[in-house]
Structure 1
Amino acid sequence: MTSEHSAPASGETPSATEIDDLVIVIPAGGVGSRLWPLSQPHRPKFLLDLLGTGATLIQDTVARVRPLSSRVLVVTGERHVDAVAGQLDLPREDLLTEPSPRDSMAAIALAAAVVEHRWGPRVIGSFAADHLIPDAASFRATVARAVEVAREGKVVVIGIEPTEPSTAFGYIEMGEALTGAARHVVAFTEKPDAETAAGMLARGGFAWNAGMFVVRTDALLGHLDRLQPALAAGVREIAAAWDGPARAEVLARVWPTLTRIAIDHAIAEPVAAAGGVAVVPATFEWHDVGDFDSLAELSGVAGTAVSIHRTAPVGAVGAAGALVVGGTKPVVIVGVDDAVVVESDEALLVTVRSAAQRVKDASASLETA
């Protein structure tokens, strides 16, 4: 493939912030089961306009990264590719489809291998399709700093400054200063319990792990050659056939054989242990929108009820901080603080914000009832 693929049209002037050697990768997978019944296997979180802004999460993500690069690849499942194509103004060939979920390492590695096959070694920035970052300019400035470090061969992660000892995110332990604003990554910690999280924040030097990776394609695939050689060989074989007539055959044959593993376990943790990972601390506001409690916070719930995607009235009697999403009938909440009422075409959910993390089990409870 030539460098004309998805490049700016002839005579088009790149934006002032565009980074020539950067390709954006957007993994668009996962259901978002804690946002059931809004988010479901046939309608995952990234395809939803959760806040009623007029833009879905993936549309917001693409708009945020577009000024950084004219090349944007989205990796998504075959089940969702038509919906993604309908929401985004991207060439169809830049939507990389997975026949089945193989976790984040296979998705990002496939994108890296396709990038190398089309354009040669480049820096890729991998950013999830379902995060909210209100300050897009600060985000792009942070990514630009990360690209500078990644050019030197490091795997670079972007660390979010913690605002509380959250148990919902993994943590990055930051070490000595490196080039520019970057710091050495000492270790990664999986989602901790509340006591461990509070202790880390008290000691300082920790950041939330938002799953943002910036790395040269040759560095990433080189690490895979050493740590996950079968996976590396598999994505290279698929990438070599991706833009040709053999794609379907090679994908069907090779994809199911790829190791199902997260990039954190496959690359980030072992490479960090060898001193090869850097973190660029970020101060921009970042939201995972992982459950209805976080959605309520983003919606401005305080002493009064807030409704999203509905025109019917909401009333509260002795009930503060309610969130009501969807539905066409009036809703009144009596005597239940922090209530959450969510209605979709398929189901009705009633819970409280403190139980928001348990919503992921809701659909399973229906199946066994």
Structure 2
Amino acid sequence: MDHSVLPVILCGGSGSRLWPLSTAERPKPFHPLAGDETLLQATVRRLAPSPAAPFLAPIIVCAAAHEDLVRAQLRAIGVRPAMIVVEAEPGGTAMATACAIQAATDIAPDAMVLIAPADHHIRDSQGFRTAVMAAAGGAGDDLVLFSARPESPETGYGYMRQGRSLSGGLHHIERFIEKPARETATAMIAEGEWGWNMGLFLGRASAFQGQIVRHAPTVAARAEAAWTGAERRGSRVALAAAPGPSLSLDRAVIEHSDRLAMRTCDVGWRDVGCWNALWSASGRDPADNHLQGSATVVESSGCLVWNGGGPPVAVLGMTDVVVVSTPGGVLVMPRSRAQEVGAMSTALAVRVFNSAVDELGSAPQQGAPNDLHRPPLDLR
């Protein structure tokens, strides 16, 4: 039996770990990081309908600041979404998913819903589509997570332990751990029964709603308020404000749920969440270097050198480093510290803001006292 699948594409976040390329104004889904098309466009194409995979037109969830980018990039590939849900404020993937499930219930209440980030890379699109359709047939009332084979003790992913067999090539998830410490991740990989969480979730709208209400009732209530108070114009839904903490679906729901199944999915998946992940997902030369733009390496290996505009960049005698040059900034670091870029870029943004405030405070203002200086923000 064929099961229609309604893709929900989450297109939020700032992608701060890919600074200086990814910025709040143009985050990573809107950049061509792993091919000629942007990550958003590649995700939408991957989930296009076909006779073997009856995907429905997607729901896109995005910030108001990125709505024009979403519309322009979808027009460029000739795709009309079923709905664009515009967030009033960042709420994390738990809130985005809860609101999207409200939309899915209105659009196709009997379809399976696939929650898919807009910033992942999957090399084998056909293999992934086949896995999704097989999982849709066996999901029942469970939420299905897709699992990739761990290649290293990555601390930025969730891990799931495979349990008893279920129908449709699925397995029960015995345990789920979100973003473990490196020592824990190393031990789990050595056990051999753990897989990476690919960040894709499949299930009936009622199954998502039930698990969110059970494990994150505050998120469910906020989503209900945001959806009920939304402004609607055609296929555009602008959510009402529903303030609260930003929570990931993994932390708020998945870690606590006992209704989880998994599907192993060897399709060349990468969460392009940091520069090391991008290096891993990209084609490389015989010395394991990946170069973009006007970039040169000499006697170097394992390097990612990304020139996003500006003068040529050259790297000499280096191993396993990242060098990124864009009009917005320059980054140089070991690949092993790629997960730290997000915190660094946030601190840098605060420092820039404080400098601007200092300049404003030191400049005489006509018609106002010259006492506009404010103390810098405490970065502790």
Unpaired stretches in structure 1, ≥5 consecutive residues:
1-17
3-state SS of 2:203 partner = strand
Corresponding residue to 2:300 among 319, 327, 351 = 319
Residue 198 of structure 2 is matched in structure 1 by 210
TM-score under structure 2 length normalisation: 0.81
Conserved in 2, the CA contact under 8 Å of 1:305 and 1:322? yes
Residue 46 of structure 2 is matched in structure 1 by 64
Task: State the Cα distance separating 1:190 from its structure 2 match.
Answer: 2.0
Corresponding residue to 1:270 among 256, 262, 269 = 256
What letter corresponds to residue 134 of structure 1 in structure 2?
R
Task: State the Cα distance separating 1:213 from its structure 2 match.
Answer: 0.5
What letter corresponds to residue 344 of structure 2 in structure 1?
A
3-state SS of 2:263 partner = strand
1-structure distance, mates of 2:278, 2:331: 15
3-state SS of 2:160 partner = strand
Conserved in 2, the CA contact under 8 Å of 1:106 and 1:258? no
Task: State the Cα distance separating 1:174 from its structure 2 match.
Answer: 1.5
CA pair 172-23 structure 1, distance change in 2 beyond 3 A: same
Residue 333 of structure 2 is matched in structure 1 by 351
Unpaired stretches in structure 2, ≥5 consecutive residues:
353-380
Residue 329 of structure 1 is matched in structure 2 by 311
Task: State the Cα distance separating 1:73 from its structure 2 match.
Answer: 0.7
1-structure distance, mates of 2:234, 2:337: 48
Task: State the Cα distance separating 1:41 from its structure 2 match.
Answer: 0.7
TM-score under structure 1 length normalisation: 0.84
3-state SS of 2:61 partner = strand
Two-structure CA RMSD over aligned residues (Å): 2.7
Counterparts of 1:228-243 in structure 2, within 5 Å, are 228-236=216-224, 238-239=226-227
Corresponding residue to 2:36 among 47, 50, 54 = 54
What letter corresponds to residue 319 of structure 1 in structure 2?
S
Counterparts of 1:1-369 in structure 2, within 5 Å, are 20-51=3-34, 53-67=35-49, 68=53, 69-89=55-75, 90-91=79-80, 94-150=83-139, 152-236=140-224, 238-239=226-227, 244=232, 251-252=239-240, 255-257=241-243, 260-272=246-258, 276-297=259-280, 298-303=282-287, 305-308=289-292, 310=293, 312=294, 314-316=296-298, 318-326=299-307, 327-363=309-345, 364-365=347-348, 367-368=350-351
Task: State the Cα distance separating 1:47 from its structure 2 match.
Answer: 0.6
What letter corresponds to residue 170 of structure 1 in structure 2?
G
What letter corresponds to residue 296 of structure 2 in structure 1?
V
3-state SS of 1:256 partner = coil
CA deviations 1:184-209 (Å, max 9, x no partner) are 11111122233322221222221101
CA deviations 1:18-72 (Å, max 9, x no partner) are 9553211011111221111000111111111113x32000100111111341321
2-structure distance, mates of 1:319, 1:127: 36
CA pair 246-334 structure 1, distance change in 2 beyond 3 A: closer
Task: State the Cα distance separating 1:115 from its structure 2 match.
Answer: 1.5
3-state SS of 1:66 partner = coil
Percent pairwise identity: 31
Task: State the Cα distance separating 1:347 from its structure 2 match.
Answer: 1.1
2-structure distance, mates of 1:119, 1:174: 31
3-state SS of 2:161 partner = strand
1-structure distance, mates of 2:19, 2:217: 37
